[in-house]
């Protein structure tokens, strides 16, 4: 499914929750903003392959637990870009696995490197580098009378910190190039499955529901009736506008004549 062609401001508004959580990670928890772009890109990719509302579940946790999620995400990214494994760290991702349907381990990012790196690259380039780049918003105070600038001010978006150092981001892009980067298009609807050992397994690709659906997820699925009523129990209502009574013979002739 193609994503709508949103302007940078509209994309920021659409991802206002992610922006607020990003500011929490950087301003309140002291995390490197460029690394957090890559972390959020990873989590957005998780959501795109079927693990819905992953970021909202992480954001609902305490700061201590959020930082533990970040540590696991950074370990995933390191494995994705080929950083040698830390011998003192195991393969387990207990917190991440608590929010996804199928458990995965760090080996998953070696066996499914092409799929994962291209998915993370897509969200890093087309989403995170847009919604977390506040160049547009930083220009607002220069001309508050401009129509677009008034729209920014009314949106409630605020200026966030912007630092330097994008080594992990560039490593992701470089990894995508090394495995054969796909065009910058949304990752396909899919469910990536891994066994407990992180080994290669089949990748199923069922269609996913549109993101951020307003439908009630607890509602009973609608299905049309599969058993038609017997013919002798069916009725048909017919109206004629000729201005006078219609006989039975007229109706028969209408259908058979």
pLDDT (tens digit per residue) in 41-59: 999 999 999 899 999 999 9
* Predicted TM-score of the model (pTM): 0.59
CA-to-CA separations, 228 to 203, 220, 234, in angstroms, rounded: 38, 21, 9
Is the per-residue pLDDT at 158 higher than 70? no
Q: By percentage, how much of the chain surpasses pLDDT 70?
A: 58
The reply to whether 88 falls in a domain is: yes
The reply to whether 131 falls in a domain is: yes
Residue 158, classed as helix, strand or coil, is coil
The reply to whether 155 falls in a domain is: yes
The reply to whether 163 falls in a domain is: yes
- The average pLDDT across 3-15 equals 82
The reply to whether 246 falls in a domain is: no
Q: What is the domain count for the chain?
A: 1
- Per-residue pLDDT band at 182 (split at 50, 70, 90): very low
pLDDT value at residue 231: 75
State the residue range of the domain holding 63.
Answer: 8-204
Nearest C-alpha neighbor of 117 from the set 60, 212, 187? 187
The reply to whether 144 falls in a domain is: yes
pLDDT value at residue 197: 40
Structure tokens of 37?
Answer: 């772009």
pLDDT value at residue 201: 40
The reply to whether 213 falls in a domain is: no
């Amino acid at each position: 499914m193609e994503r709508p062609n949103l302007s940078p401001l509209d994309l920021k508004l659409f991802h206002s929750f992610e922006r607020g959580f990003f500011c929490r990670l950087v301003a309140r928890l002291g995390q490197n903003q460029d690394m957090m772009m890559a972390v959020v890109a990873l989590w957005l990719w998780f959501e795109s392959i079927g693990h819905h509302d992953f970021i909202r579940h992480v954001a609902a946790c305490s700061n201590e637990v959020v930082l533990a999620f970040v540590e696991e995400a950074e370990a995933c990214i390191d494995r994705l870009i080929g950083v040698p494994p830390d011998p003192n760290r195991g393969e387990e991702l207990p917190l991440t696995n608590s929010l996804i349907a199928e458990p995965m381990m760090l080996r998953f990012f070696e066996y499914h490197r092409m799929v994962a790196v291209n998915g993370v690259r897509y969200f890093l380039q087309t989403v995170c580098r847009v919604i977390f780049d506040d160049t547009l918003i930083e220009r607002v105070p220069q001309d508050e009378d401009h129509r677009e600038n008034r729209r920014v001010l009314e949106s409630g978006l605020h200026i966030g910190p912007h630092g330097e150092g994008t080594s992990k981001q560039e490593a992701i892009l470089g990894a995508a190039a090394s495995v054969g980067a796909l065009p910058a298009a949304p990752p396909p609807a899919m469910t990536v499955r891994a066994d407990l050992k992180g080994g290669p397994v089949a990748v199923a690709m069922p269609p996913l529901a549109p993101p951020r659906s307003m439908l009630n997820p607890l509602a009973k699925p609608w299905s049309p009736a599969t058993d038609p009523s017997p013919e002798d129990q069916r009725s048909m209502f017919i109206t004629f506008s000729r201005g006078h009574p219609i006989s039975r013979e007229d109706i028969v002739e209408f259908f058979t004549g």
